[in-house]
Chain A
Amino acid sequence: MMAASDDRRPQAEGLNRPPVCAPEELLATTLARLILDPTAHPARHIAVGAASPIPAAACWLVAKQGHPVRLSLLHKRSGNPFTEGTRELFDLTGQGRIDLFFLGGGQIDGQANLNLVGTGGWPGTEVRFPGSFGSAFMYFMTHRTILFREEHSPRVLVDRVANISAPGVSAPGVFRRGHAQALVTGKCVFRFDPAAARFTLESLHPGETVEGVRAATGFDFDVGDVQPTPPPSEAELALLRGPICDEMLETYPEFCARVFGRRSAA
């Protein structure tokens, strides 16, 4: 956990320090800032997969801040824009019309290879994960991908994935529109450089250290000008806890209850 429970006390008035927030709120805000990164390909159309409440909250935060972004929420009956079946997302992405997608993995390695299949031999003879879903296509064909995995441990962040569902970089000549922009975990933010096929530690969440991240990470990485991960502003927290929680309550009731302390009216 990034915020100890005693950090959730109401703040003394007039103290100039960041507002108290839940770890999920920090992560959603961090993802939202990466979405809005002015140096990256503009995110006009973002697709969000199933079981992704924190990336979904980040996308809503971008939208509710007034940025012109189209969100395609694949897990919701309302908010799913596709009328040609589940292939339509992939057709759109094949054309280059999906700017940003989120991916995770049971294992992620230092070259941003993703393993969603399992450990041991193919197809996951040791621990079987659900499977690769659309990753072996989306990772190539989306303009950029933000990797997100809350668990930051040597079993997830490995030197070399046991099996590659989707490769982090491709050989010259292989058609590829985009790569990982960054990897956000429960401890930090790494930037990815596709030319070097390496991550660089960019920011640390509250309470984390470079040494601690090093110890929890199975792959080698570069250390840049490491900053603290900026906390959410009062305005961002107000959006998350108000209108964004309203949007997410139907799809993610447990998440909204746990993070925002709000239950849907039965």
Chain B
Amino acid sequence: MTTISLEAMAASVPDGALLALPPDNSLPSVALARALIRRGVKNLRLLGVPVSGFATDILIGAGCVVEVQTSAVSLGEAGFAPRFTAALKAGRITVRDATCPAIHTMLQAAEKGVPFMPLRGLIGSDILAHRPDWIVQQNPFGPPGDVIVLLPALSPDVAVFHAAMADSFGNVWLGRRRECATLAHAAQRALVTVERVVEGNFLEDERLASGTINATYISAIAIAERGAQPVALLDEYGFDAAYVSEYARMAKTDAGFAEWMAREVFAQAAAA
């Protein structure tokens, strides 16, 4: 199994891609988000699976994003996501609001290779009123008047997440964060950063197999130590609340964000 460099992985993401990212509690690759900013990617359409956090906010702040589809954007205890909010206010991004299970369901439809899946709830919500791509139809198996929402399959161009490790065969392990597996199954390509590559085959170990994503679904792997930071990686390292709080403070203004980005995205790479 050969890995590629983080910068090569970032270079493989075309401008305008529909790029799916898990939120801060489920293994985003913050390392790849930083590399995408350095590469100067443009016009990304981001998908929050099912919500969005730190990585989304920095990509928006750096001007890499034209559209966000998500169920919420938040920095958790550090509060609202400042660059997302500023970009929405200024009209620099289009926001397509969803609700968490709708995003899971659209990905599951893509995973199964079916054109749509139904979901309960939603009727009477203004979310539905602003989603012309979501359809309300009579339940064909139900009594007359039983209406249900149909959601189209959604297959992101690129899925990006961070896993604990990869093996000799290109399988990756991330434990119970199975939303990343659904995402890898549904996406055209999955780009995965890992802490380390280990010898062997996870699929031959019953204790690891259920937390593994088969190499079939993985397009490329790059090693990025501490690649989820400042967010947590399973039981390997925790959420760096002080770092995210400082970010939230600095990113309140354009100038503060620019200073943060110079220090934390560009200077780091120059030093590496």
At the interface with chain A, which of B152-160, B176-184, B262-270? B176-184
Q: Which of A89-127 contact B (CB under 8 A)?
A: 90, 94, 116-117, 122-125
* Contact of A123 with B122 at beta-carbon distance under 8 Å, contacts A82-B176, A87-B179, A131-B70 already known: no
**Residue A38 at the chain B interface, CB threshold 8 Å:** no
* Contact of A85 with B127 at beta-carbon distance under 8 Å, contacts A123-B95, A173-B146 already known: no
Q: Which of A160-215 contact B (CB under 8 A)?
A: 163-167, 170-175
Residue of B nearest to A93 (CB): B101
Report the bound CA distance from A94 to B147 in whole Å: 15
Contact B51 A131 (CB under 8 A): yes
Q: Which of B76-92 contact A (CB under 8 A)?
A: 76-77, 80-81, 84-85, 88-89
Q: Which residues of chain A have C-beta atoms less than 8 A from B77's C-beta? A: 51
Contact B81 A130 (CB under 8 A): yes
Contact B73 A136 (CB under 8 A): no
Interface 0/1 of B94-115, CB less than 8 Å to A: 0101111110110010000000
Interface 0/1 of B165-179, CB less than 8 Å to A: 000000000001111
**Residue A77 at the chain B interface, CB threshold 8 Å:** yes
Which listed residue, A75, A123, A166, touches B25 by the CB 8 Å rule?
A75
Contact B99 A175 (CB under 8 A): no
Q: Which residues of chain B have C-beta atoms less than 8 A from A133's C-beta? A: 51, 71-72, 99-100
**Residue A86 at the chain B interface, CB threshold 8 Å:** yes
**Residue B130 at the chain A interface, CB threshold 8 Å:** yes
Q: Which residues of chain B have C-beta atoms less than 8 A from A172's C-beta? A: 145
Q: Which residues of chain B have C-beta atoms less than 8 A from A140's C-beta? A: 120-122
* Contact of A173 with B72 at beta-carbon distance under 8 Å, contacts A131-B51, A134-B100, A137-B99 already known: no
B interface list, Cβ under 8 A from A: 25-26, 50-51, 70-74, 76-77, 80-81, 84-85, 88-89, 95, 97-102, 104-105, 108, 119-128, 130, 145-148, 176-182, 210, 232, 234-235
